Amino acid sequence: MNFTYKSFPGQVHFGAGKLKELPHLLKNYLSDPNDKVLVLAEARVQPQVDALVEALGRESVHHFDKVIQHVPQTLVAEALTVANHLQPKVMLSIGGGSSVGLAKALALENRLPIIAVPTTFAGSEQTNIWGISNETGKTTGRNDVVLPQVVIYDPALTQTMPQRLAVMSAMNAMAHLMEAVYSPTGNPVTRNQALLGMQTLKSGLENIAQQKSFTPAANEQILFGAYLAGRALCEVTMALHHKAAHVLGGSFGMQHAEVHTVLQTYVLAYQWPHLSAEVQQDFVKVWGENPPLGLKNLAANAGAPTTLEEIGFDQADIGKAVRIMLANPYPNPAPLVESQLLVMLEKAFEGRV
């Protein structure tokens, strides 16, 4: 009970029907009839954009609908050109981590406020973390200017997710909570929030497995768990799992949520001998006597992939991936040993816990 804790600013509007508050919230940033909102969202959310146009007027809303995973530098440059021409007062991201990621990349340059409306369980909307990729890989960093000022969580927006995507997005959030439990920069506040989030996500995923469908009850539980996961990701540092997932995603073009879903079982097994007895007991309370196996079984029962082979990773790239993972040292509970990391990824490829 001797710790330092930084709580980050930001409004959260959570619950059914909260999307209706969006026009009112945006008007707080629009003091002049000529002021504009730059909407960063895929074309699939056009109905939400149309509702915004109806509420604020067509001249006030500009929709940039190019959104690409891992936020390529070329896309950032294109969107920044649009933003510089438009001179908006606020940016609105509607979508998953890629949409808010693009807004963050722009905020690094134009310092504009962000309102985020998640349609997946990515959690990026709660963080001050940005990431931009190019042909050599992905660069990430932290800057409070990219932290959204307002976030709206409306379960109606995540309920339409395909079940498999919902499960993997939830497992992505689970990975952030897992690392928050043993983070070297954690404290009693973040640890207990992470455990609450982990248990909430687990309940939602178990509901999907039992009902064989993405029920409203599961959706609401997972959305709340994902919110807590985003907070954890912002408030404490991540370790091996996060680094490995970004390497496989940014350097090998793997799908972000799929990589997170698969890796966490094997990363937790790698960390396990080096976790304190107290932290091990935290995991056992949630997952049973074999937490890595519990994670794997939960994902499998809910219909998600559990091996790197299933998601199309080339086994021949394991060595290269490990070398990239080791290129820039970072704090981690277990020593980062090349030979052991090779074994970890081989197990992840084959599905051996």
* Cβ atoms 256, 245 nearer than 8 A: yes
At residue 92, what are phi and psi to the nearest 5 degrees?
A: -120, 120
Q: What are the chain's domains? A: 11-158 (3.40.50.1970), 171-350 (1.20.1090.10)
Q: Can you tell me the distance from the alpha carbon of 288 to that of 284, in angstroms, rounded to the nearest whole number?
A: 5
Q: Can you tell me the distance from the alpha carbon of 260 to that of 105, in angstroms, rounded to the nearest whole number?
A: 22
- Residue 6: per-residue pLDDT: 86
Helical spans, DSSP H, in the chain: 22-27, 46-56, 73-86, 97-110, 155-158, 163-181, 188-211, 216-235, 240-252, 256-271, 277-287, 291-301, 318-326, 338-350
The three-state secondary structure class of 193 is helix
Q: Can you tell me the distance from the alpha carbon of 93 to that of 98, in angstroms, rounded to the nearest whole number?
A: 9
- Residue 250: per-residue pLDDT: 80
- Residue 132: per-residue pLDDT: 94
Place of tokens 């040993």: 337
Q: Can you tell me the distance from the alpha carbon of 155 to that of 15, in angstroms, rounded to the nearest whole number?
A: 6
- Residue 122: per-residue pLDDT: 84
Q: Is 183 exposed, middle or buried (0-12, 13-18, 19+ CB in 10 A)?
A: buried
- Residue 137: per-residue pLDDT: 79
Q: Can you tell me the distance from the alpha carbon of 192 to that of 187, in angstroms, rounded to the nearest whole number?
A: 9
Q: Can you tell me the distance from the alpha carbon of 132 to that of 320, in angstroms, rounded to the nearest whole number?
A: 21
Q: Can you tell me the distance from the alpha carbon of 200 to that of 293, in angstroms, rounded to the nearest whole number?
A: 18
- Residue 113: per-residue pLDDT: 98
Residues 6+ apart with CB under 8 A from 7: 235
Per-residue pLDDT of the chain (353 residues; tens, 9 = 90+): 788 888 888 999 999 999 999 999 999 999 999 999 999 999 999 999 999 999 999 999 999 999 998 899 999 999 999 999 999 999 999 998 899 999 999 999 999 999 999 998 988 999 999 999 998 878 889 999 999 999 999 999 999 999 998 999 999 999 999 999 999 999 999 999 999 999 999 999 999 999 999 999 999 999 999 999 999 999 999 999 999 998 998 889 899 889 999 999 999 999 999 999 999 999 999 999 999 999 999 999 999 999 999 999 999 999 999 999 999 889 999 999 999 999 999 999 999 99
- DSSP designation for 13: E
User: Cα torsion for 24, 25, 29, 34, to the nearest 10°?
Assistant: -40
- Residue 284: per-residue pLDDT: 98
Copy the structure tokens of residue 125. 């909307």
What's the full length of the chain, in residues? 353
Q: Is 212 exposed, middle or buried (0-12, 13-18, 19+ CB in 10 A)?
A: exposed
Q: Please state the pTM of the whole predicted model.
A: 0.90
